[in-house]
Amino acid sequence: MTRLVVQHPALPDTAVAAFADAVGMAPAVRAGALACWPDAAIDGARVGELADSLGVDAEIVRPGLRLADFRLAAFDMDSTLITIECVDEIADYVGRKTEVAAITEAAMRGEIADYDESLRRRVALLAGLPESTLERVWDERVRLSPGAEALTAALGAAGLHLLVVSGGFTFFTERLKRRLGLDTARSNVLEVVDGRLTGRLLGPIVNAERKRTIVEQTCAQLGCTPAQAIVVGDGANDLKMMSIAGLSVAFHAKPIVRDETTHAINHCGLDAILAFFER
């Protein structure tokens, strides 16, 4: 038997009824956005078919899964903890958003082989912008993804170390760290000279390999293994750190990511992840 969790911000009774018919019993839990069967006899392929046809999130979860089984929760930032891609929004201030966003989208879909070069190309287009533009993006455009505060608060209360590891920029990850009470932030450093962006990065680029290494190093510092890590992301450059995690979640992610992770959230907010764990 397996545990089946079905969720949607406005979960309709018709969707619950369809899953109940497939499972052969009513859910043990039916509350608001959630329906749960603790011992459902249904395979993953059928769950996926129903979820896609009904437009809901549905996952088979290992019975007995507890937050206490984990020590680390690692998050991507752009389009995961926040709703935007920061580099795209910065580029908007020099009229290059469309061009930069196209590169970002291709990179996140895994269509660009050299991620480092794609990031350097995007950052080069920002040369000459005043550093104050970053503050404007933070104030005017950065918004937390739905459920981000509830999820990080619950994980922190459960004793997990909270890490944001991003191919974005320290200006934003450090502010997000303070905003959400995260423990550690790792990302790329934009070079600034005389108050203006130079279009260059300082230090090693936080790419897919670097993200995995950071997760491994953080686990080692915590005295745990990657099997005790939860990793959440949306793009192809998150896949390597997801591949070593005990539990990985694709959040409103690209198809290449949804196909390679433990679980996926396509409709709900980040706090829907909490339903995977037994209380």
| Residues taking part in catalysis | 76, 78
Give one DSSP letter per residue of 134-190, joined into a string: HHHHHHHT--BPTTHHHHHHHHHHTT-EEEEEEEEEHHHHHHHHHHHT-SEEEEEEE
| Cβ neighbour number for residue 195 with a 10 Å cutoff | 8
d(CA 3, CA 19): 13
Which residues lie below 8 Å from residue 136, measured CB to CB, with a gap of 6+? 93
Nearest to 249 by CA among 57, 121, 116: 57
Q: Which 3 state secondary structure label does DSSP give 272?
A: helix
Q: Which 3 state secondary structure label does DSSP give 74?
A: strand
Nearest to 205 by CA among 186, 226, 233, 180: 186
Give one DSSP letter per residue of 115-142, joined into a string: HHHHHHHHHHTTTT-BTHHHHHHHHHT-
